[in-house]
Amino acid sequence: MNWAGLYTVLSGVNRHSTAIGRIWLSVIFIFRIMVLVVAAESVWGDEKSAFTCNTQQPGCNSVCYDHFFPISHIRLWALQLILVTTPALLVAMHVAYQQHQEKKLLVLTGHADAKHMEEVKKHKMRIAGSLWWTYVCSVVFRLLFEAVFMYIFYMLYPGYQMMRLVKCEAYPCPNTVDCFISRPTEKTIFTVFMLVTSSVCIVLNMAELVYLVVRACARRSQHNSNPSSGKGSFYGHKHSSEYKQNEINQLLTEQDGSLKDMLRRNSGLQEKGDRCSAC
Amino acid sequence: MDWGTLQAVLGGVNKHSTSIGKIWLTVLFIFRIMILVVAAEKVWGDEQQDFVCNTLQPGCKNVCYDHFFPISHIRLWALQLIFVSTPALLVAMHVAYTRHEKKRQFRNCEKINIEELKNEKIHIRGPLWWTYTSSIFFRIVFEAVFMYVFYYMYDGYQMPRLVKCDAWPCPNTVDCFVSRPTEKTTFTIFMLAVSGICMMLNLAELCYLVIKICIKESRKT
C-alpha cells in the first residue's frame, strides 16, 4: 500500500463527488502528493546526516537534532495527506451501502438480471438525503484536519521558515553549540509551497461546503413552493432520497405487494417515457 | 503517486490533442521526464555530500551550499514538469464534462450506445477550443517562467567548478568545489534545449489552432 494504492482507492470516489470535489482531488494528488514524492522527499533525505554541530562531543549531534526536529516535515505531510484524503472513504462506503440496498431490492422484486445490476453499479448517485449529510461531514472533517495540521506545523516550526543555524545546549553538548541545518532555503521554499497548496485545498473545501448548502436550500425552497400540486411535484417528492430509502426499508421488512410500481418509479422508466424530448 | 501515474493520467488527454500536441507529450515524457529520472537524478545525487569546502570549520559547508544552491536543479525541473503538464488536465476535465452532458441528454432515450459515446473523438471547437488554447498558453508561460528562474538563480546555465564563499561561520573567504560541474552543465543545457523545443512545439500548436479557426470562420462567411 503506497501513494499509488491510495490513488486507486480514491479515484473511485471521484465519480460521486461534485465538480469542486474533483478539482480538490486533482490538486491533492498532483500538487501535494506528487510534489512530496518526487521533490520534497529528496530535499529532506539527508536532514539528519548533514545536520552538523560545531563540536566533537559524541551524542550532541543526535540530541540537538532530536530537540529541534521532534517530527520531520515529510512525516507530518504524509500524515496530513492521509488523514485529509480519508474522509472521502466515508462517502464511498455510503454509496456502496446504497448500491447494495438497490441490488437487494432488485433481487426481491425479481429484476435481478445482469443489465439492471450493471445499471445500479454504473449510475451516479445524487448527493441528496443521507448521502448529503455524509458528504458534508466528510468535507467538514477534511477542513478540520487541514487546519489542525497547519496549526501543528506552526507550533512546531514557528513562522514556517527553516533556520540556517540553531543554538543547542542540551546535554551532553558542552555549553551552547552552533548547529547547522542542511538546505534551509530549499526547505523553506517547499514548506511555503505546501502551505500554499494546503490553503488552496481549504478554500476549495469551503467553496464545496457553501455550494452543497446553497444547493440543498434551493432544492428545499423549490419543494416548499410546490407542496402537492400536480403530478410533477408529487413525482419530485417520490424521487427524494429519504422517500426512496423509506420505501426500500418498508419493502425489505414487509415485502409489500406494490413492488412493481415502486420499482418502476425507482428506475425512472416512466420518467424516461414522459421526459424524452430528444426521441 | 509518481511520474508513472502522471503519465497514466495524461495519456488519456492524448486522444483529444492535435498531432502537434501528441508530439509535445511524447517529447515531454521521453526527453524530459525520463532523462530526469534515469540520468539527471543520479548526477545530482551527491550534490551536497561531495560539495567540499577548503576549511574544517563545522557548518561552513552547509551554509555555503545553501547560499549557492537555494533550490536544486532537480527540484526545479520536477516542479517545472509538473506545472507544464497540468494545464492538459483542464482539457481532460472539459472533455469529461462535455461527455457527461451528452450522456445526460441521451440517457432518457437510450438511443446512443454509452460505449460509443466514450470512444468518440471530441473535436476541438467552440468552448473546447478556448480551453485548449488557454492550456497551451499556460504551458508556454510556465516554461518561460521556469527558464527565467533558472537563469536568474544560477547566473546563466553553466555550473562553476569553484565558488568562493564568505558566509558566517566560514572564516574569511573559503574555496568550495562543486561536484561533477561539467556533467551538470551538459544536462542543464540538454534540458534547456528540450525545454526550448517544447516551447516551439507549443507556439506552433497555438498558431495551427488559430489559423484553423480563422480558415473555418472565413469559409462560413
Q: Grid coordinates in use for A194?
A: 505546501
* Residue B90 near residue B135, CB atoms below 8 Å: yes
Q: Give chain B's radius of gyration (CA, Å).
A: 23
Residue type, B146: F
Find the range with the poorest average confidence among A114-123, B76-85, B160-169. Answer: A114-123
pLDDT band per the 50, 70, 90 thresholds, residue B117: low
- The answer to whether the Cβ–Cβ distance between B78 and A38 falls below 8 Å is yes
Spatial CA neighbour of B184 closest among B39, B29, B33:
B39
Sheet holding B162-165, edge to edge: B52-53, B174-177, B162-165
Q: Which of A17, A34, A168 would best serve as a mutation to test chain B binding (most B beta carbons within 10 A)?
A: A34
Instruction: Check residue A248 and give its pLDDT.
Output: 61
Q: Grid coordinates in use for A63?
A: 540530541
Q: Which residues of A touch B93 (CB under 8 A)?
A: 22-23
* Residue A36 near residue A85, CB atoms below 8 Å: no
Within a 10 A sphere around the Cβ of A39, how many other Cβ atoms? 21
Q: Where are the domains of chain B?
A: 20-219
CA dihedral B17, B21, B27, B28 (to 10 degrees): -70
Model confidence at B53: pLDDT above 70:
yes
Beta strands in chain A (DSSP E): 52-53, 165-168, 177-180
Q: Which of B33, B75, B107 would best serve as a mutation to test chain A binding (most A beta carbons within 10 A)?
A: B75
* Residue A55 near residue A174, CB atoms below 8 Å: yes
Q: How far is CA B52 from the centre of its chain?
A: 31
Buried/exposed code over A117-136 (b: 16+ C-beta within 10 A; e: otherwise): beebeeeebebbbebbebbb
Q: Give chain A's radius of gyration (CA, Å).
A: 27
Instruction: Check residue A43 and give its pLDDT.
Output: 92
Model confidence at B138: pLDDT above 50:
yes
Interface list for A 82-101 with B (CB within 8 A): none
| pLDDT, tens only, B21-40 | 989 998 998 899 989 998 89
Could you tell me the CATH superfamily of domain B20-219? Answer: Gap junction channel protein cysteine-rich domain (1.20.1440.80)
Domains and CATH numbers, chain A: 1-50+72-108+126-163+188-219 (1.20.1440.80)
State whether residue A160 sits within 8 Å of chain B by CB.
no
The angle subtended at Cα A185 by Cα A179 and Cα A190, nearest 5°, is 120
Taking each helix axis from N to C end, the angle separating B87-107 and B127-153, rounded to the nearest 10 degrees, works out to: 160
Interface list for B 28-57 with A (CB within 8 A): 41, 48-49, 57
B52-53 and B174-177 beta bridge pairing: antiparallel
Rounded Cα distance, A134 and B12, in Å: 31
Q: How far is CA A255 from the centre of its chain?
A: 37
Beta strands in A32-176 (DSSP E): 52-53, 165-168
Q: Which helix H or strand E contains B176, and what residues bound it?
A: strand B174-177
Interface list for B 91-150 with A (CB within 8 A): 93, 97, 105-111
* Residue A208 near residue A138, CB atoms below 8 Å: no
- Taking residues B77-89, what's their average pLDDT? 92
Instruction: Check residue A245 and give its pLDDT.
Output: 62
Model confidence at B85: pLDDT above 60:
yes
Instruction: Check residue A178 and give its pLDDT.
Output: 93
pLDDT band per the 50, 70, 90 thresholds, residue B163: very high
- The answer to whether the Cβ–Cβ distance between B74 and A42 falls below 8 Å is yes
Residue type, A100: H
Residue type, A33: I
Instruction: Check residue A190 and give its pLDDT.
Output: 94
State whether residue A26 sits within 8 Å of chain B by CB.
yes
Find the range with the poorest average confidence among A85-99, A262-276, B67-81, B122-136. Answer: A262-276
- The answer to whether the Cβ–Cβ distance between B58 and A178 falls below 8 Å is yes
Instruction: Check residue B137 and give its pLDDT.
Output: 94
CA dihedral A87, A89, A95, A99 (to 10 degrees): -160
Instruction: Check residue A227 and give its pLDDT.
Output: 61
* Residue A181 near residue A164, CB atoms below 8 Å: yes
Query: Which regions in chain A score pLDDT beneath 50?
Result: 229-239, 255-262, 267-279
Spatial CA neighbour of B170 closest among B71, B72, B66, B73:
B66
Q: Both ends of chain B: CA-CA distance in Å?
A: 49
pLDDT band per the 50, 70, 90 thresholds, residue B13: confident
Assign B134 to helix, strand or coil: helix
